[in-house]
A and B are shown apart, each in its own frame.
Chain A
């Protein structure tokens, strides 16, 4: 849908507001008539949300405390975090006799339902083999303790994504992202990796207080359909994904630092010999043609450290002891980095999910099979290491 034109009153409103921190910079070369020539640039453009709240602060050195008392207090704080996590876990909910029976769980609606995802920590790579002898590399991702923090329904997206979160595309291009214009999905905020509250500021801890949760290191958000919405405090666990489900993994790629054009943009460079004078790894011409170089010209700069998605990767194995997912292939990011894992958006995966719906809105204790899960659950095509390979003739 094309965006309506901006009124002059709106421009004046923006101009009179105390947004002196906004700065208009020339935009990149435009290919459509509707693209505006200027875009808004602001200091916290690339910072994670909530950027209006400082997460970490300098540690206070309390000279009145002895080292033993300081350690004791730390252990006491960690035990309280453990108790808070345990009390809100699915096991505690299932064990409580006073809890009301759960409300009717939503059904999986084809072409409508989009579940919440999980926050994972990428650990490393483990090779495995299929039953036909083919090798496959699996990424080992650990699923930490995580709880739902907030649900923002699609109608409130405008209030939530406020002026403070000005994104360049809102003023640069005519077309807003579809999740904003269609208002089909809401935002599910998920907190992961509970930690010692002394690590964080009071404002950061206050974000979790409203949901009755201990403070966590990471806040992520997922685009979720309203029928799969989860209320604050809900528990997200390892079995949210089953063996065989295809997932998308979104993470920040490895930061390769300042790189030249040959590594960054795979340019050719120049000849190594044959009289080449100081032209071996350069860009060459910038194609100005007498005018300015257009914004977005490929040049040396920092490479990596961008959010990228690896699409449609099947989950081949689940380990319940260490809470690990073994995902086929490679995911972006270095070891011990956060990643978002969600049901794949690829069409063939969506169709297979319609045929074999996953636990909606998430996995609960009542979905567990009789006798619980074994320590390792393998995909039927995968060969465990303690079994010999038998090739068909």
Chain B
């Protein structure tokens, strides 16, 4: 506590304990106008100074990066170790003692992988909560294994429908996000109108998800079907489900789609799609665009290590996630057997 400034002669009872200094008349300005900035306490850090024409100026804390009200990853780990409320590693340890995680787990639980974002935005406790809630939801509804290119029939609750249930059959063209945010998009033709519906995989208003055909395509998404003939995404609503075996590898549909003539919704030649008939596609493009597309498809990204590092889940994190899910999968199977 600094000593109270001595008041000049007078009866002004200047007690800093109860009164406050506020306002400052312009008359005193000349005393402070050009003073250099020097803190009184030796403990205080020297302000960072920036050279400029008006004299010595100091940088504000946010530009200096001084005040960061965040816990570093090391500080978080120390805090969790001290208090014992950190992420639960018991399931991963139990999975380590068993045989390797079977490949069907990686096919069934693709959304269990952590998101591909900077480490600053990832937290192990939140990711384990997502996985636990995913497995709790799977005790209520059966979510089959499906990929982009598979045909699904989804029933959702709809209070305005005659049976209170609305059923839609479609081709899965997109599957994105991770954890409880996972969504998938089905596309079909209804009365000669293209319809695309995006469903949240873990929404409780979904009554059932039925797999009609298990298949995989050459691409991660089939958005180019928006500019393809409608025959590619016309699926009858009364389609009979085709049997499949979990042990067999997922069949790959290597068909190459011929797009409609331009204009297109997107520059499909610049995204590296393998499921488009490229010769037919290039016939619509100018030489310059074709050269650009061929340059793109030379797959420089195969050799771009940083691109691979940034757009891939780290292998230890992926292994940890699947081990965690594997134990919960076994508990789910036991629960289903008990119910039967």
Which chain A residues have a beta carbon within 8 Å of chain B's beta carbons? 3, 5-24, 36-38, 40, 42-44, 46-48, 51-54, 78, 81-82, 85, 121, 123-127, 129, 133, 135, 140, 142, 144-145, 156, 158-159, 162-164, 166, 169-174, 176, 180, 193-196, 203, 217-218, 251-252, 255, 302, 305, 321-324, 333-338, 383-389, 391, 393
Contacts and interface: CB of A to CB of B under 8 A. Distances in A.
B24 interface: yes
Contacts of A173: 22-23
Contact of B79 (A6, A38, A144, A203): A144
A144 B83 contact: yes
Q: Which 7 A-B pairs have the closest CB atoms?
A: A124-B126, A17-B5, A389-B204, A385-B136, A13-B5, A386-B136, A43-B47
A290 to B, nearest CB: 21
Contacts of A125: 126
Interface string B22-40: 1111111101110111111
B16 interface: yes
B100 interface: no
A218 B125 CA distance: 21
B14 A13 contact: yes
B60 A46 contact: yes
A18 B40 contact: yes
Given A9-B12, A43-B58, A144-B83, A158 B19 contact: yes
Interface in B200-215: 200, 202-205
Nearest to B200: A135
21 contacts: A8-B27, A9-B10, A9-B12, A14-B21, A15-B32, A16-B5, A19-B40, A21-B35, A24-B32, A43-B47, A46-B62, A48-B67, A54-B44, A127-B180, A127-B181, A158-B16, A163-B5, A171-B22, A217-B71, A322-B125, A393-B159
A196 B78 contact: yes
A382 to B, nearest CB: 11
Interface residues of B, number: 83
At the interface, is chain B mostly helix, strand, loop or mixed? loop
Contacts of A335: 120-123, 126
A174 B22 CA distance: 7
Contact of A302 (B21, B43, B60, B123): B60
B326 to A, nearest CB: 19
Contact of B16 (A18, A163, A383): A163
Contacts of A302: 60, 62-63
Choose among A13, A51, A53, A174 the residue with the greatest number of B CB atoms under 10 Å from its CB.
A13
A14 B66 contact: no
A14 B24 contact: yes
B81 interface: yes
B69 interface: yes
A97 to B, nearest CB: 26
Nearest to B128: A322
A7 B21 CA distance: 10
A3 B288 CA distance: 74
A54 B69 contact: no
A159 B75 CA distance: 34
Contact of A252 (B40, B69, B73, B126): B69
A389 B157 contact: yes
Interface of B: 1-2, 5-8, 10, 12, 14, 16-29, 31-33, 35-41, 43-45, 47, 58, 60-63, 66-67, 69-71, 73, 75-76, 78-79, 81-83, 85-86, 88, 120-123, 125-126, 129-130, 133-134, 136-137, 139-141, 157, 159, 164, 180-181, 200, 202-205
A392 to B, nearest CB: 9
A23 B54 CA distance: 14
Contact of A322 (B61, B63, B85): B85
Given A14-B28, A24-B33, A46-B60, A170 B21 contact: yes
A38 B29 contact: yes
B14 A52 contact: no
Contacts of A163: 2, 5, 16, 21
B299 to A, nearest CB: 33
B204 A383 contact: yes
A303 B157 CA distance: 44
Contacts of B6: 13, 16
Nearest to A180: B20
A24 B23 contact: no
A53 B45 CA distance: 10
Nearest to A257: B62
A126 B24 contact: no
A170 B78 CA distance: 40
Given A54-B44, A124-B121, A391-B164, 14 more contacts: A8-B25, A9-B8, A10-B12, A13-B6, A14-B21, A54-B43, A158-B16, A159-B1, A176-B22, A321-B88, A335-B121, A336-B120, A338-B69, A391-B205
